[in-house]
Amino acid sequence: MEEWITEELLEKAAQVAEKGICDRCLGRMFGKISTGMTNDVRGAKIRDALRENGREGNVQSPCPLCDDVFDLMGRFADAVAESINSVESDNFLVGSRVDPSSLKKEKEIIEEFELKDCESIKTELNREIGKLALPMIHRPVEFKAPQVVACIDTRFAEVSLDISPVFIYGRYNKLSREIPQTVWPCRVCHGKGCPRCNGTGKMYQTSVQEEIGNIALEMSGGKEHFFHGMGREDIDALCLGEGRPFVLELSEPRIRDIDLDELEARANRSELAQYHYLRFVPREEVQRVKMATPTKTYRVKVKAESKVNKEAVINSASSFKNICLDQRTPQRVEHRRADLVRNRTILWVKADNIGDDTFELTLETESGTYVKEFVSGDEGRTQPNFSDTLGIQCKVEELDVIAINDQ
């Protein structure tokens, strides 16, 4: 008798064997005892020891616990391999859905006999199907972060794939004052399609996200794209210079290693936005981009209600150096933002191109600063503000983001 088969184990095994279960299920009830063998071999050894003691138990067919599901592992492995080979990945993992009645019976046996060293039927199926499928897939198994998980429903031999997303980092320039950064669902129908949106479900026909995302989706055979930007600019603002960092997420891509040079070239045929520095990144990059709070540099064209004095404009601009603002939620966004007073810092402001009642300001601000309201004052909701300092009411006519200072 094997050394690991103790009298205590035999006593438990004799009681379990009375359930009429197969060798594999018997071995699995003690699956964490000893190593270097499969559960069916372990179960056979235990039953041999029981037989020597006249207590082998009456094996029923089909097995009342697993219903002989392990006889179908070859079929399951073929289905798993076929599904995984239909997509591109560097690795894979096998999962399973098991008949709930088998899981219930297993739980009852474990609890009835207080078994502490058992292995679940799901774990064994996953491992054994994976071992059979591996030679047909030619990719390594990955347990921590698999790119594709093939889940086999053992009741129907049907496979569903859980494909991990692809993440692409880049920077974009927004060249139109008529498109948003991301897909904007119609306010009336909330994406369902209505007369207001001509059935598109969108407030705007395209966006920075869609100009690259739709192409990437086509190239990857993915299901959906998501856009994660390092902040965003207003629809009527441009984003120039080196551009704004973003991560494009592609869900369920059937092709992972798409040609990023081709993606960039095709996306840059757009006259609305341009994209640069594309590269694949891990999931963690999404959080880094979304949580970053770099300062931003803007250039704004300003219109004053009356003629301005050049020296006064220059002096007003230079007075804003490391100045903290109290900015109550602007009137233009109060319908979708909490009514709060936010503290934001203006690092510096420079004025040039000063005309009779127009001028330009270049300024660097803390992330989250409402630049239009800093200039206008927003009827006193931003204090201090440029209009009050100059003594003439002003408003921003055009706003450009010229730098995201994240380097």
* 8 Å CB contact between 176 and 273: yes
The matching CATH number, chosen from 3.30.70.2510, 3.30.420.40, 3.40.50.1980, 3.20.130.10, for 166-291 is: 3.30.70.2510
pLDDT score, position 56: 84
pLDDT in tens, 229-259: 999 999 999 999 999 999 999 999 999 999 9
pLDDT score, position 192: 87
pLDDT score, position 367: 95
Residues with a catalytic annotation lie at 234
- Sequence-ordered list of residues with C-beta below 8 angstroms from that of 402, at least 6 positions apart, any chain: 240, 241, 297, 298, 299, 362
pLDDT score, position 380: 96
Q: Which fold has domain 295-405?
A: Alpha-Beta Plaits (3.30.70)
The matching CATH number, chosen from 3.40.50.620, 3.40.50.11540, 3.30.2130.30, 3.40.50.300, for 66-162 is: 3.30.2130.30
pLDDT score, position 362: 98
Torsion, Cα of 195, 199, 204, 209 (10° steps): 160
What are the residue boundaries of the structural domains of the chain, listed by start? 1-65, 66-162, 166-291, 295-405
Q: Which of 209, 204, 218 is nearest to 249 (CA)?
A: 209
pLDDT score, position 58: 87
Residues of the chain where predicted confidence (pLDDT) is lower than 70: none
pLDDT score, position 23: 96
| Gap between the Cα atoms of 41 and 48, Å rounded | 11
pLDDT score, position 244: 98
Do the first three CATH levels of 66-162 and 295-405 match, i.e. the same topology?
no
Q: What are the CA-CA distances from residue 313 to residues 372, 392, 398 (Å)?
A: 17, 10, 18
pLDDT score, position 57: 83
pLDDT score, position 131: 95
pLDDT score, position 173: 98
Please state the pTM of the whole predicted model: 0.88
* DSSP SS3 for 136: helix
Task: Supply the DSSP symbol for 95.
Answer: E
